[in-house]
């Protein structure tokens, strides 16, 4: 069979940053807390393309992905990002003319959680992982990003104060100190928050810790199973911790130094949070990108 990919390019002799396959789904076995769990994962798998080649021969990407993910059914990997790194490394082996590879993975992740002991059920979250491999002086350098996304809720602190103001006109007693802890009505809504840490290989980060950080930054986590009094408790908790998206993002970031004391300053941090505003038809989003070192300096002040 003719190898059209290996021909010189017909339409411009220059490198291309990234050529790959995307939207390809595979089951992958991961060992978590001693348990073999299967993650239904969507991958994108790409390399760069030098000026000398017409095509990237993407059938290799699909083969590598299949081999490495299928091997996990016998030998589960330790994490989604570990699988991404294996794939990224192998891409450089089988694409000898490529100088960089990138593997991005996104998987549904179920965690048993509940508002109280005995009330747990599976809540769904998302795991995110990315590995980029690059050649450097004959060896390969890997940079990995480990991420997670969780849905919780926020109650708005501004509308809460405005509602208090409004209701004091009807119920003047509410202005008295006695009532300052009575939670006022506000708008509340689903909040979707994502946190990703990027670090060189060897620096281990547990996705469950990212999800814990996210949950503690929202006004309240949410649950599938809630009896009436528990529902009231979630609503009350959320109104006792009203949060803008700005607050969620800052609390999330400000808590990272204490949560990850072992990680080096160079770890890059990306975070974003979206509230599906109940009082508007549009969403509100806050995002930030920084390093753990910068966060340590900012929160030490």
Between residue 163 and residue 202, which ones bind a second copy under the rule CB under 8 A? 163, 165-167, 170-171, 179, 181-190
Bridge partners, residue 252, by sequence: none
Q: Using an 8 Å Cβ cutoff, are 215 and 250 in contact?
A: no
Q: How far is the CB of 208 from a second copy (least distance, A)?
A: 17
* CA–CA distance, 134 with 139 (Å, rounded to integer): 8
- Per-residue x/- track, 59-98, a second copy (CB under 8 A): x--xx-xx--xx----------------------------
Q: The dihedral of CA 268, 33, 88, 138: what is its sign?
A: positive
Note the maximum CA span of the chain: 86
Nearest residue (CB) to a second copy, 200 versus 254 = 254
Interacting residues of 273 by C-beta distance below 8 A, sequence separation 6+: 191, 192, 193, 194, 217, 245, 248, 249, 252, 285, 286, 287
- Per-residue x/- track, 214-233, a second copy (CB under 8 A): ---x--x-xxxxxxxx-xxx
Nearest residue (CB) to a second copy, 165 versus 266 = 165
Structure tokens that stand for 42 in this block: 């969507």
Nearest residue (CB) to a second copy, 117 versus 138 = 117
Nearest residue (CB) to a second copy, 31 versus 284 = 284
Point out which span in 93-101, 136-144, 206-214, 235-243 binds a second copy (CB under 8 A): 235-243
Q: How far is the CB of 137 from a second copy (least distance, A)?
A: 26
Point out which span in 57-65, 74-82, 84-92, 203-211 binds a second copy (CB under 8 A): 57-65
β-pairing, 100-113 vs 121-136, is: antiparallel
Of 207, 213, 274, 292, the residue at the interface with a second copy (CB under 8 A) is: 274
Nearest residue (CB) to a second copy, 38 versus 116 = 38
Nearest residue (CB) to a second copy, 114 versus 201 = 114
SS3 240: helix
When asked if residue 55 is in the footprint of a second copy (CB under 8 A), the reply is yes
When asked if residue 130 is in the footprint of a second copy (CB under 8 A), the reply is no
Structure tokens that stand for 115 in this block: 């508002």
Nearest residue (CB) to a second copy, 129 versus 245 = 245
Q: How far is the CB of 204 from a second copy (least distance, A)?
A: 25
* CA–CA distance, 23 with 42 (Å, rounded to integer): 6
When asked if residue 301 is in the footprint of a second copy (CB under 8 A), the reply is yes
Nearest residue (CB) to a second copy, 253 versus 267 = 253
Return phi, psi of residue 38, to 5°. Answer: -105, 125
When asked if residue 245 is in the footprint of a second copy (CB under 8 A), the reply is yes
Q: For residue 225, give the nearest of 297, 146, 117, 300 by alpha carbon.
A: 117
244 by Cβ neighbours in 10 Å (0-12 / 13-18 / 19+) ranks as middle
When asked if residue 259 is in the footprint of a second copy (CB under 8 A), the reply is no
């Amino acid at each position: 069979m003719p190898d059209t990919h290996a021909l010189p390019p017909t339409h411009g002799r220059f490198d291309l940053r990234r050529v790959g396959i995307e939207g390809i789904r595979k089951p992958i076995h991961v060992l978590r807390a001693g348990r073999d769990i299967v993650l239904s994962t969507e991958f994108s798998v790409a390399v760069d393309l030098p000026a000398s080649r017409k095509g990237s021969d993407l059938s290799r990407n699909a083969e590598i992905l299949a081999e490495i993910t299928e091997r996990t059914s016998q030998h589960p990997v330790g994490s989604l990002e570990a699988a991404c790194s294996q794939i990224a490394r192998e891409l450089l082996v089988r694409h000898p003319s490529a100088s960089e590879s990138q593997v991005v993975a996104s998987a549904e992740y179920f965690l048993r959680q509940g508002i109280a002991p005995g009330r747990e059920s599976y809540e769904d979250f998302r795991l995110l992982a990315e590995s980029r491999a690059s050649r450097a002086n004959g060896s390969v350098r890997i940079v990995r990003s480990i991420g997670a996304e969780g849905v919780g809720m926020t109650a708005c602190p501004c509308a809460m104060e405005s509602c208090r103001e409004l209701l004091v006109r009807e119920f003047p007693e509410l202005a008295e100190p006695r009532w300052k802890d009575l939670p006022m009505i506000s708008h509340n809504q689903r909040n979707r928050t994502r946190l990703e840490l990027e670090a060189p290989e060897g620096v281990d980060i547990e996705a469950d810790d990212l999800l814990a950080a996210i949950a503690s930054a929202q006004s309240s986590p949410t649950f599938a199973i809630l009896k009436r009094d528990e529902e009231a408790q979630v609503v009350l908790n959320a109104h006792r911790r009203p949060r803008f998206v700005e607050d969620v993002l800052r609390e999330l970031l400000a808590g990272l130094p204490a949560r990850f004391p072992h990680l080096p300053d160079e770890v890059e941090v990306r975070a974003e949070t979206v509230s599906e505003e109940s009082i508007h038809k549009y969403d509100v989003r806050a995002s930030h990108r920084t390093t753990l070192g910068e966060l340590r300096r900012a929160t030490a002040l």
